[in-house]
Amino acid sequence: MAENTTRPGWQRPSIYDVAKRAGVSHMTVSRVLNGHPNIRASTRERVLQAIEEMNYTRSSIARALATRRAMRIGVLVDSPVQYGPNSTLRALESAARNVGYAISAFSISDEEDSQIDVGVVELVTHGVDALCVIAPRASSLDLLRKQTTGLPTIVVKAEQDAAWHTVAVDQRAGATLAVNHLIERGHRSILHLAGPLDWYDARERDGGWRDALALAGLPIGPVIAGDWTSDCGYEFGRGFTPGDVTAIFAANDQMALGLVHGLSERGLRVPQDVSVVGFDDLPDARHFLPPLTTVRQDFASLGELALDQIIAAIEGEEGIQHHMIEPQLVVRSSTARARI
């Protein structure tokens, strides 16, 4: 039976009260509220029962913690116009909102490496409880390493780091899925249209392409340095001469879109002449002509995972942690068996 919320002297229960009633940590209560999958059924049932009994609502999270923290997370976002960083930020904002945290974001463009110092100062001035860095380039993190904030810091990148908590979608595994898909369809010469290799994600996707080819005993074909944009893919496709190449792995869907356009102007058909695979699974990827085979990143789960690690770091519950989410290959019409 829910507790009487109208009796004199009654106080709205906090997340800590629910945790005490259920015999769990307040982090576990938070994860149950957010539908986190890695919770035992018995624990979830116990928490939900305590929530019902105490007439607890999500809105009391902020009140419960307000006297102890700013309830604000500072986020540095590298190149926020790109789909991946933008989607990660929105997913983190949604996950944070569900547990009473606010987000203060500072954006760094490709031409503003030096602005990371300004961003850190601005976010720390806002009184944030932790920092999160989304989609960093190596140059950005090199500058961040020189900063001393005293705040828990989470970095969204697939490479482990001795200095910070890291979370990511497994970029290398995603690239391996894409290239193995092409190999299974008989492709033996697979070109890689890479992202800028100052980006950790681009490095990992390049590494996955190399791993898959090496494991299959195939030659490491040419790498073309791209810049994530569809214009870059288009310009490359317009001038592309296939030779032995029968497939191209593009490091993101935007470059793949431009690539297909450029190849068609070159008189090459996708997938009859050249198969193309992208990465990200843009919402429009299934409407490309042809619909694009690509690697899907679960940004909602990534946002929740990042938030879990941020709160755990704020609580001092864990040492340096590294967690990754598995990507998913989505097969559509832009790939076919290799031409003979």
Task: State CA 127 to chain mean position distance.
Answer: 25
pLDDT digits (tens, 9 = 90+) for 37-64: 678 889 988 988 888 888 765 544 444 4
| Entry pTM | 0.79
Angle at 141 between CA 135 and CA 142, to 5 degrees: 155
pLDDT digits (tens, 9 = 90+) for 285-312: 999 999 999 999 999 999 999 998 998 8
Token output for 214: 């090496």
DSSP state letter for 339: P
DSSP calls for 46-85: HHHHHHHHHT--TTHHHHHHTTT---EEEEEEESTTSHHH
User: Is the Cβ–Cβ distance between 128 and 72 less than 8 Å?
Assistant: yes
| 106-115 average pLDDT score | 71
Is the model's pLDDT at 186 over the cut of 90? Answer: yes
H runs (alpha helix) in the chain: 15-22, 26-33, 41-54, 60-65, 83-98, 115-125, 138-144, 171-184, 200-215, 230-238, 253-265, 299-315
| 134-140 average pLDDT score | 83
Query: Rounded to whole angstroms, how far apart are CA atoms 292 and 289?
Result: 8
Q: Which of 89-98, 240-249, 326-335 has the lowest mean pLDDT?
A: 89-98
Is the model's pLDDT at 265 over the cut of 90? Answer: yes
User: What domains are there in the chain, each with its CATH number?
Assistant: 15-65 (1.10.260.40), 72-168+299-325 (3.40.50.2300), 171-296 (3.40.50.2300)
Beta strands 130-134 and 72-78, pairing class: parallel
Q: Which of 309, 308, 304, 311 has its CA nearest to residue 320?
A: 309
* Side chain identity, residue 282: L
Work out the percent of the chain whose per-residue pLDDT is above 90: 57
User: Is the Cβ–Cβ distance between 186 and 338 less than 8 Å?
Assistant: yes
